[in-house]
Amino acid sequence: MNIIERALEFFDKLIVAVAYNPNKSALFSVGERMEMIQTALKNDPRITTVSFDGLLVDFVEKQGANVIIRGLRAVSDFEYEFQMTLMNRKLNRKVDTIFLMTGYKWFYTSSKIIKEAASLGGSVRGLVPEVVHQRLKTKLPNYRNVP
């Protein structure tokens, strides 16, 4: 959410792309993730949430956009994102990538760490939007009694 909120300082309109990736085991479906994003963003009219599969650069072009915004937490993020950006530039030179550093509160937070802590009954409230905190209670048995 931090990156989305900050990106709105630069752009009047954002498309939040929710990817279907069969190579990842997501806790929530694409539809559930889209719904949580929309709820967390209070259906802000400047933001459209759209799902896609396939190449991100193809999706961006189909949307009539030309910029991908990516959040970075640490140097390790940059190494991966840099490789992806180079490949995206090779696939479509009309699409650029802008990197935004995440707020310091999220430097060491990742979906993997959030899922691991929550699955063991640790509270992640304040690290995720309230809607996600509540949805985790329906997905993870050890999280059901977390206040």
CATH of the domain at 8: 3.40.50.620
CA-to-CA distance for 23 and 1, rounded, in angstroms?
24
Token look-up 């060491």 returns 108
**What is the chain's length?**
147
pLDDT of the residue at 103: 85
Residue 133 and residue 101 in one domain: no
Residue 73 and residue 42 in one domain: yes
Mean pLDDT of 38-50: 94
Residue 67 and residue 135 in one domain: no
Mean pLDDT of 8-36: 93
pLDDT of the residue at 32: 97
Residue 16 and residue 86 in one domain: yes
Residue 141 and residue 103 in one domain: no
Token look-up 């992640």 returns 124
Domain count, the chain: 2
pLDDT of the residue at 25: 82
Residue 117 and residue 143 in one domain: yes
The model's pLDDT over 127-144, given as tens digits with 9 standing for 90+, comes to: 999 999 999 999 999 998
Question: What confidence category does residue 110 fall into, taking pLDDT thresholds of 50, 70 and 90?
Answer: confident
Q: Does residue 122 register a pLDDT over 90? A: yes
Domain carrying residue 39: 2-107
- The helix, strand and coil proportions of the chain, stated in percent and rounded to the nearest 5, come to 45, 20, 35
Residue 72 contacts residue 39 (beta carbons within 8 Å) = no
Residue 68 and residue 94 in one domain: yes
